[in-house]
Amino acid sequence: MTKQVRVKETDIIKKFTAYLKLEKGLEDNTVSAYLNDVRKLSDFLSVEKISLRNVSDNSLHQFICTLQDIGIQVRSQARIISGVKSFFHYLELEGYIDKDPSFLLETPQLGRKLPEILSTEEIDTIENSFDLTKPEERRNKAIIEVMYSCGLRVSELVSLKISQIYFQEAYILVEGKGEKQRLVPLSQSAIKEIKSYLTDRDSVPVKRGHEDFLFLNRRGTKLSRVMIFYIIRQQCELCGINKKVSPHTLRHSFATHLLEGGANLRAIQQMLGHESITTTEIYIHLDKSFIRQEILNHHPRNKQLLKQ
C-alpha cells in the first residue's frame, strides 16, 4: 500500500539524499551525481506533465530515448540510469509507490564507441591556437565557435547564410534535415567571431550563386564538408589533442556540456533540431524565450559572460 499522502517532491529528495548518505554510505560526489540524474528525470517529467506516482516503464524508456537523441554518450546514459533506478528503488522501499517502474530498465552496453567529447578547456585551446594575423585563421576560429556555441551539423554550417543571421536578436535560422527550419540562439562569443570574419569576407571575390553563404574559401565559393573536417583535425593535431575529433564532436560536446550544466532535455532536443517543427513561426511563438534562456543559463560560453 503506497503512502497516499501528498508529500512534496523536495521533501522526498531530502529523504533520498539522507538515504544515500546514511544507509548506502555513498560519498558526497556520488550523492551529488545521483541527485543530478534525478533532477534530469524530474525536468523531463515536468515537461511531459507526468507525476512521480504515475511514472511508467514506458515513460522511463521515453526519457532514455531523449538522452540518446541528443547524443549523450553511452557511459553517461548508464550512469543516469543507475541514479534513476536507485531513486525508484528507494520510492518503492519507502512505500511511496507500489511498483518500481525502472525494474526492467536496461543499462546500455558500454562497449559501444561514440564520438569523443571535447572539454571546454580543449575547445578554448583550439580557438586560441589560431594565428589571427591571417584571414583564413580568423575564419576558422569563427567556424569552431559557431559549431560549438550552436550545436550545428556540418551540413548546416556550410549552408549557413548571412541573411539567416539576426545579430540584434542574437539568433540564427538553421535549415536542418528535411528542410526543417529552427531558430538557434547565438552567443556573444559567436557574434564577435562572425563579425570579425565578415570584415575579411568582404575582400573575397565571391562567385555567382555563393553571395549569401557565410563561410567561403579563397576562391569565393562555400566551404565543403570535407574542408571543415580538415580544419578541425589539423587544429587538434597542432594543439596536441590526441582524440578522434570530427565536426560532430563539437555537436556532441555542445549537447553534453548543456546537459551537465543542468539544461532542460526538451530545450537541448529542439536546439539540435530533433523536434518536428512545421513552421518557423509556430516554433518562435512557442519556444523562443524558453530555449534562449536555457542556452544563456547553461552553455559554458554564456556562463563565462555572466561571470564578467
CATH homologous superfamily of 120-307 equals Intergrase catalytic core (1.10.443.10)
Cell numbers at 135, concatenated: 584571414
Which pLDDT score is estimated for 307?
56
Identity at 252, one-letter amino acid code: H
Q: Which of 53, 99, 134, 177 is catalytic?
A: 177
Catalytic: which of 21, 79, 225, 274?
274
Nearby residues of 192 by Cβ (< 8 Å), 6 or more positions away = none
Check if 192 is active-site: no
Active site residue 301: no
pTM (global) more than 0.75: no
What does the pLDDT read at residue 2?
45
Question: What pLDDT score was predicted for residue 284?
Answer: 32
Start and end residues for every CATH 1.10.150.130 domain found in the chain: 9-93
d(CA 141, CA 230): 13
Rounded CA separation 65/79 (Å): 15
Q: Among this protein's residues, is 39 annotated catalytic?
A: no
The answer as to CATH 1.10.150.130 being correct for domain 9-93 is yes
User: What are the strands of the beta sheet with 181-185, ordered from one edge?
Assistant: 165-166, 171-175, 181-185
119-136 in b/e form (b: 16+ CB < 10 A) is eeebbebbbebbeeeeee
Provide the residue-wise pLDDT of the chain in tens; the chain has 308 residues: 344 434 577 788 888 898 888 888 888 888 898 898 888 888 888 888 888 888 888 888 888 878 877 777 777 888 888 889 889 888 888 888 888 888 877 776 655 455 578 999 999 999 999 999 999 999 999 999 999 999 999 999 999 999 999 999 999 999 887 778 888 999 999 999 999 999 999 999 999 999 999 999 999 999 988 899 999 989 999 999 988 888 888 988 888 888 777 777 777 777 888 654 332 232 233 344 555 666 666 677 765 555 55
Q: What is the pLDDT of residue 293?
A: 65
Per the annotation, the verdict on 248 as an active-site residue is yes
Q: Give me the pLDDT at residue 81, please.
A: 87
Position 304 scores a pLDDT of 57
CATH 1.10.443.10 residue ranges for the chain: 120-307
Cα–Cα dist 236/230, whole Å: 10
90 catalytic, yes or no?
no
Q: What is the pLDDT of residue 172?
A: 94
C-alpha cell at 17: 539524499
- Catalytic: 274? yes
Look-up of cell digits 549537447: 255
Which one is catalytic: 19, 96, 171, 283? 283
